[in-house]
Amino acid sequence: MRESPAPSTCEAMKFLDQAKVYVRSGDGGAGCVSFRREKFIEFGGPDGGDGGRGGDVWIECVDGLNTLIDYRYQQHFKAKKGDHGKGANRTGARGADVVLKVPAGTEILDEDEETVLADLTEVGQKIKLLEGGNGGFGNAQFKTSTNQAPRRANPGLEGQERWIWLRLKLIADAGLVGLPNAGKSTFLAATTAAKPKIADYPFTTLHPGLGVVRVDGREFVLADIPGLIEGAHEGVGIGDRFLGHVERCGALLHLVDGTSEHAGKAYKTVRAELAAYGNGLDEKPEIVALSKVDALSPELLKQQKDRLKRAAKQTPLLLSAQSGQGVEAALRALLAQVEEARGEAKAAEPRPEWRP
């Protein structure tokens, strides 16, 4: 078997789905100590203004982005400090906010990579991650009947800072899983307008791909991820990091290469990796299909089908993305599972309380 070539720098940079960034909100401006000094005003009194508030850190989900590549080159984001207060009761200007723009499906995680701070799934969502520090009081705020000439002012409060992880999980209705060279990219290319790289060596797919499937007048989004091999959860091959992109899927289409040595063992290998990854992937509705059936003799086809049926405990679909055999049946089966998942998600949405 040919060894898969190492990804070029250009290929590796095409798709970035994880980034660690440092964010800091702005410090508040200091208050001012000042007294009125106009001519003919004998007892002017204090007129020191307050400091301006520091800028906040926002994260916004925007349209037109599909990777986190912008955060490969810049990892530090700091909001501006508030201006200091000035005399004549002038408050310092507020510090400018900093806004991190991310694609739909981005999770914001704490530095431990486990605590989810936010999950931005829709364009237009915007959350305030860190608040800027308050500005300090000027000496005008400390004037009392017994202290009419205060000579003190507060410094501004410091801003907040933290390291966070941005993790992109593609929003797709259905996902393709299987060993390398199982025919996933060919299936995606045959059923959508996507143009994934297709070749006769393992790990042709180096980053996830999306395509829109149209069947029976309806649509759903299909995701293709790099192939899994035994030990992927331990980092073997490309590893299982890209499985995060099918966590949101309503159903999985598990393609098993009919030309492989043993279809049942190939199926169990991928299922073991899904279980090892966790996050409920091994519990998702699964449609099993034996691919590349056009390359099999009738005897071998029956043998591989029986092996896969015993391993999966369901009758597999027979398909060939190259010839189109069984593709429509697979898409209709996926659509049924996707619409069922959509219905369950809609039913789970909280309904607004009715009030007369």
Read off the amino acid at residue 23.
V
Give the right CATH number for 17-168 from 2.70.210.12, 3.30.43.10, 3.20.20.10, 3.90.1150.170.
2.70.210.12
What is the rounded CA–CA span in Å between residue 63 and residue 122?
Answer: 9
Closest by CA to 125, choosing from 65, 60, 57, 58, is 60
What is the pLDDT, as a whole number, of residue 9? Answer: 37
- Kind and range of the H or E element at 289? strand 286-291
pLDDT exceeds 90 at position 4: no
On the question of pLDDT at 191 being above 60, the answer is: yes
Look at the domain 174-348 and name its fold.
Answer: Rossmann fold (3.40.50)
Token pair recorded at residue 153: 């002012």
342 confidence band (pLDDT: 50, 70, 90): confident
How confident is the model over 251-275, as a mean pLDDT? Answer: 90
Q: Provide the pLDDT for residue 223.
A: 85
Q: Which tokens hold the place of 12?
A: 């590796």
pLDDT band at 339 (very low <50, low <70, confident <90, very high): confident
Over residues 201-215, the mean pLDDT reads 73
Let me know how long the chain is: 356
pLDDT for position 7: 43
pLDDT at residue 5 greater than cutoff 50 = no
**Backbone dihedral region of 61: left (phi > 0), alpha (psi from -120 to 50 degrees) or beta?**
beta
Give residue-wise pLDDT tens across range 10-69: 444 456 888 999 999 999 999 999 998 887 877 788 999 999 999 999 999 998 887 898
Residue 79, Cβ neighbours under 10 Å: how many? 26
What local confidence, expressed as pLDDT, does residue 208 receive?
79
Average pLDDT estimate for 302-320: 92
Closest CA relative to residue 131, chosen from 165, 167, 162: 162
Q: Is the pLDDT of residue 248 over 90?
A: no
Could you tell me which of 244, 123, 102 has the C-alpha nearest to residue 172? 244
Given this model, what pLDDT does residue 12 score? 40
- Arithmetic mean of pLDDT, 311-332: 90
Residue 4: CB partners within 8 Å, gap ≥ 6? 180, 201, 202, 203, 204
Provide DSSP, 54-114: PPPEEEEE-TT--S-THHHH--EEEPPPPPPPBTTTBPPPPPPPEEEEE-TTEEEE-TTS-
**Reported confidence tier of residue 346, pLDDT bands at 50, 70, 90:** low
Does residue 147 surpass a pLDDT of 70?
A: yes
Q: What is the pLDDT, as a whole number, of residue 183?
A: 84
Instruction: Kindly indicate the confidence band of residue 353, based on its pLDDT and cuts at 50, 70 and 90.
Output: low
* Helix (H/G/I), strand (E/B), else coil: 293: helix
Task: Provide CATH 3.40.50.300 ranges for the chain.
Answer: 174-348
Spatial separation of the C-alpha atoms in residues 80 and 26, rounded to whole Å: 5
Q: How much is the pLDDT for 354?
A: 53
Mean per-residue pLDDT of the chain: 85
pLDDT for 87 beyond 80: yes
Torsion of CA 226, 228, 234, 235, to 10 degrees: -30
Answer yes or no: is pLDDT of 116 > 80. Answer: yes
Burial 160-185 (b: 16+ CB within 10 A, else e): beeebbbbbbbbbbbbbbbbbbbbbb
Report, as an integer, the average pLDDT of 283-306. 91
Range name among 23-37, 137-151, 188-202, 296-310 with the lowest pLDDT average: 188-202
Residue 8: pLDDT band with limits 50, 70, 90: very low
**Band of pLDDT at residue 182, cut at 50, 70 and 90:** confident
pLDDT at 109: 94
Q: Is 113 within 8 Å of 164 (Cβ atoms)?
A: no
What residues are paired with 255 via a beta bridge? 289
In this structure, what token pair is assigned to residue 86? 């000035």
Query: Please, where in the chain does CATH 2.70.210.12 lie?
Result: 17-168
**pLDDT tens digits, residue range 213-225?**
888 888 888 988 8
Phi-psi region of 278 (alpha: psi -120 to 50; beta: other; left: phi over 0): left
Give me the pLDDT at residue 74, please: 92
131 or 344, higher pLDDT: 131
Cα separation, 236 vs 79, whole angstroms:
40
Q: What is the mean pLDDT of residues 121-149?
A: 93
The tens digit of pLDDT for each residue in 227-237 reads 777 776 666 65
Distance between CA atoms of residues 19 and 313, nearest Å: 40
- In this prediction, residue 344 has a pLDDT band, given cuts at 50, 70 and 90, of low
C-alpha distances out from residue 298 to 262, 302, 304, Å: 16, 6, 10
Q: Do the beta carbons of residue 108 and residue 162 sit within 8 Å?
A: no
